[in-house]
Chains A and B, each alone.
Chain A
Amino acid sequence: MPETKPTRPAPTWRFAPIILAGFAVILLVAAGAIWFFGAPAPLQQAAAIGGPFSLTDGAGKPVTDKTYRGKYMLVYFGYTFCPDVCPTTLNDVAQAIDKIGPVADKLQPLFITIDPARDTPDVIRQYAAAFSPKLQGLTGTAAQIADVAKEYRVYYASHKTGPGPGDYTMDHSSILYVMDPSGHFAGVIRADEGPDAIAADLKKIVS
C-alpha cells in the first residue's frame, strides 16, 4: 500500500474550498455587523466600559458580575458619607424604577461604593435599602473597588478636609451605567437629569 501516503493530504485539499467559504461567511457577518450597528468606533468604545468584578454585597456575601447575568445592571458609583448628591441620585433612580413598571423586573440597580474604608457591608446595605428595596449596595477591598472603577472608567479620589484620618470627602464620576443581561455595555444615563428622564432612558435601553 505505498500509494496511501501521497493521498493523505488529499482530504485537506478537498475541504479547502469549504474552509475558504467559511472565512468568507465570517467576513460577511462581521461586515454586516459593522453595517448594522454602525461604525466600528462605538463598538470599540462599548467594549471598553464594564467588565468582570468581585465585590461584597450588603449581607457580606461575595458577588461577581456573573451574579447578575440574565438581568440588566444599572450601576452607580458613590459613597454613603455623601449626604447631598448621592441621595438625590439614588432617590431619582428609585422613582424612575417605580415609573417603568414591568421593565423594572429586568433590571438590577447596583450602588457600588468608591469609599470602601467607611462603607462596610452593613453601612451600604442600610443606605441602599433606604431608597429602594430593589437597590443593592456593594462594597469590597480597596483593590477590588479600584478594579471595578477602572473597568467602568470611573474616576474617584479622596480630598482631605481636616487633620483626622476620617476627615475627607470623595470626588467621583456621577454617571449611571447600563449593562445588558449578558454583561455587555448597553448605555449610559446622566445622573442629574431627574426621575422622568432616567425612566425614559431606561425604557429605551432595556428591552
Chain B
Amino acid sequence: MSTNVAVIGASMTQFGQREAWIQGLLAEAGAACLDDAGVAPDAVEHLYVSNMASGEFEGQTGVPNALAHDLDCLPAYTQRVDQTSSSGGAGMYAAWQSVASGASEMTLLVGGEKMTHRSTGEATDVIASLTHPVEYKHGVTLPSFAGLTARRYLDRYDAPRESLGKVAVKNHENGVDNPHAQFQKEVDLETVLESPIVADPLRLYDFCPITDGSAALMFCPESVAKEYTDEYALVSGVGGATDTHVVHERAEPTVMGGVVESGKEAYEMSGYGPEDIDVAELHDMFTILEFLQMEGLDFAEQGAAWELVEEGKTECDGELPINTSGGLKSKGHPLGASGVAQGYEIYKQVLGEAGPRQVDADVGLACNVGGFGNCVITTIMEAGA
C-alpha cells in the first residue's frame, strides 16, 4: 500500500494582467506556499513546475532550475510538467507520485503561466499549436472546438442556449468573493447572451480570459504532515487519462473520454463516488466544458447537465457547488497554474478556510482538462484526520 499523501500548504498569486514574468510569478507563489506550510526551503526534496509554454510565450526555458535557485531549494530534484492546459493537474499527479512512491518526503508544486503580453491571436495560436496538422491548417482553435461542440450539444439534447449563459453568470458571481480572481464582478444573463460572437453559438462571456498567474501546493507523507500541522488535506484519489488529439475522430463530440476515464480512476482510488463529492472545481475554459465534465464525472446523466444548472443545483447554496472559486471563467486561466489553483480551492474548502466562498464540504474534486479533452487529470481531496 502506498503512502498516504497530504497537502500541508497552499498559495496563489493575484490572477490577471501582471507586470512580473514567469520566473517572478512562480517565485511569488512558491515563497508564499513555503511560508503557508511552515516548511524551510532546504527541506524541499522535489520541486515540480507546471507550465505549458514559457518558451513559446516569453523565450524562457529551464524555469524549474531557476525557481529552485530563487527559492533557495537547491539541491532539490526539479522537473517541469507540461500537459498543456492540464499541466497543473498533471503536476498534482506527479507530486502525489513522488511522495506516494517514497521518492520524496517534501514536494513543492508550483504552476504558472505568463500570457497577457501576447495578443489574443498570438496566445490563441500558441495554444492551438497542440492540434493535429490536418486540423491546425484549417485555423482551428480551442474556442472553435468549443463552438462546434456547443452547437452539437444544444441540438442533440435540446438544451436552451441560456443554460450555457447561466454557467458564466454563476461563475462570475462566485468570483466576486475570490480576491485572487481576474474578474471580481458579476455579469447578468442578458450581457452574456448579447456579448460579441467568438465561436458561434458561443460568445465572449462563454470564454475564460487570457491570464498571468501562479499557484502552489506542498505535498508530504501524512506522517510528516502531522509534524507540521493539525490542519492538512489528504489526496484521496487521482487519475489521469488521454484521448485522441484528433478531436473530430471522437465517436461522440459531446463526450470527453479523458474525463470519464480519469474520473473512474480517481473515484476507484478514493473509494468515493460522485454522490460523495461535496464541492467541485471543473475546467470551465468554455461554458460548455462545465456540462461535459459534469456528465463525464457522473454528476449528471448524459445530456442532462444543463438541467442541474437551470435548477440552481451547482450554485454555492445548491446540492453540488461547482467552481466556488469563480472557475477559469472568472478567476482566469494562466495555463500551467489553473490545475494547481483548482487544488488550492479544494484544499481551502475541505479545511474550512475558504472564507466567504466556504460551502459545507468534506470531500472535493478537481478536474483539469488539457487541449479539448486531450488529456485530463481528476483529483479528489478530503480533510485529514
Q: Do A and B bind each other?
A: no
Q: Which residues of B contact A (CB under 8 A)?
A: none
